[in-house]
Amino acid sequence: MTSPDCILETRGLEKRFGGVVAIASVDFRLKQRELRCLIGPNGAGKSTFFKMLTAQLKPTTGQILFDGVDITRAQPHQVSRLGIGIKNQVPDVFNNLTVAENISVAARSRHGKARAAAKGKDVMERLGLTALTGRLVGELAHGQRQWVELAMVVALEPKLILLDEPAAGMTADETNKTAELIREVNKSAAIVVVEHDMQFIKQIAQTVTVFHQGRVLIEDTMDKVQGNELVREVYLGKSEDD
Ligand SMILES: Nc1ncnc2c1ncn2[C@@H]1O[C@H](COP(=O)(O)OP(=O)(O)OP(=O)(O)O)[C@@H](O)[C@H]1O
């Protein structure tokens, strides 16, 4: 049994690809409405961990519990229906539809037609996208497209949202707005963010989990993580004296 304030828990989670241990016995706990950042050097296992949470990859051993339900062997559509939303780096949007239509299409998978339109409108207002309502998504700037996809995920009303490098390729202004949107979305959902941009992480981070060689190296506040010598060594590939 997980405690009621825990939305996500992994127990002894492991993923091997042949001889490569990508994730090694990870025990991870996330509270309801928590915002967690995952960092770690290339190859640390962050993507593999994410893919197991959304059932894109099946664990070799271990267990994943979401909102009290064992989803270790679930299918992606079941995980989505239970309330896990994911936003990948490449936006999954319809370029030849408007912003409103894209968000409404997403809302349709949860609601009837009339309610989906109203729900879409609410989400656009909440994320400050109303001015873009009638614009074709294919004509939007990179940052705006990312926000539309975030709105599409929010329209599904997930309890947990996984964000894979949400600030990648963004300008400073776009990055600031993305941080603002993530804080807004976090009012109604727990969020796990994988990100390499430390400035961005500083803007949103509460607790940071550092992965290294498939294991959790440290889990602490951003300040403590940044000041940690082990993290410096593995994440930056050198100590400060080098
Ligand atoms: N499909 C696969 N087949 C074989 N090995 C894989 C596969 N996917 C990942 N790996 C290996 O698993 C380990 C973890 O990779 P993963 O992509 O999860 O790391 P990451 O932390 O997301 O890295 P990055 O920050 O570069 O995206 C690496 O050694 C990688 O080479």
Q: Give the pLDDT of residue 240.
A: 44
Where does the pLDDT of residue 109 fall: very low under 50, low under 70, confident under 90, or very high at 90 and above?
confident
Q: Judge whether residue 213 has pLDDT over 60.
A: yes
Give pTM, 2 decimals: 0.93
Q: Give the pLDDT of residue 237.
A: 65
Higher pLDDT, 163 or 89: 163
217 pocket-lining for ligand 1 (C-beta < 6 Å): no
Cα separation, 140 vs 98, in Å, equals: 10
Tell the residue nearest (CA) to atom 13 of ligand 1. 22
Q: Judge whether residue 88 has pLDDT over 70.
A: yes
Which atom of ligand 1 has the smallest separation from the CA of 40? 21
| Centre of ligand 1 from the C-alpha of residue 203, in Å | 27
171 pocket-lining for ligand 1 (C-beta < 6 Å): no
Q: Give the pLDDT of residue 201.
A: 93
Q: Give the pLDDT of residue 65.
A: 97
Task: Please state whether beta strands 215-221 and 20-31 pair in parallel, antiparallel, or not at all (unpaired).
Answer: unpaired
Q: With CA atoms as reference, report the closest residue to 144 among 105, 104, 102.
A: 102
By most ligand atoms within 8 Å of CB, the mutation choice from 47, 51, 213 for ligand 1 is 47
Q: With CA atoms as reference, report the closest residue to 54 among 164, 152, 157.
A: 164
Contact 193, 37 (CB under 8 A): yes
Q: List, for residues 16-25, the tens digit of each pLDDT value.
A: 999 999 999 9
Where does the pLDDT of residue 112 fall: very low under 50, low under 70, confident under 90, or very high at 90 and above?
confident
Token code pair at residue 216: 């959790």
Mean confidence (pLDDT) of the chain: 92
Please state the separation of Cα 125 from the chain's center in Å: 21
Where does the pLDDT of residue 114 fall: very low under 50, low under 70, confident under 90, or very high at 90 and above?
confident
Q: Give the pLDDT of residue 239.
A: 44
Q: Give the pLDDT of residue 159.
A: 96
| Centre of ligand 1 from the C-alpha of residue 42, in Å | 8
Where does the pLDDT of residue 241 fall: very low under 50, low under 70, confident under 90, or very high at 90 and above?
very low
Tell the residue nearest (CA) to atom 6 of ligand 1. 17
Q: Give the pLDDT of residue 242.
A: 45
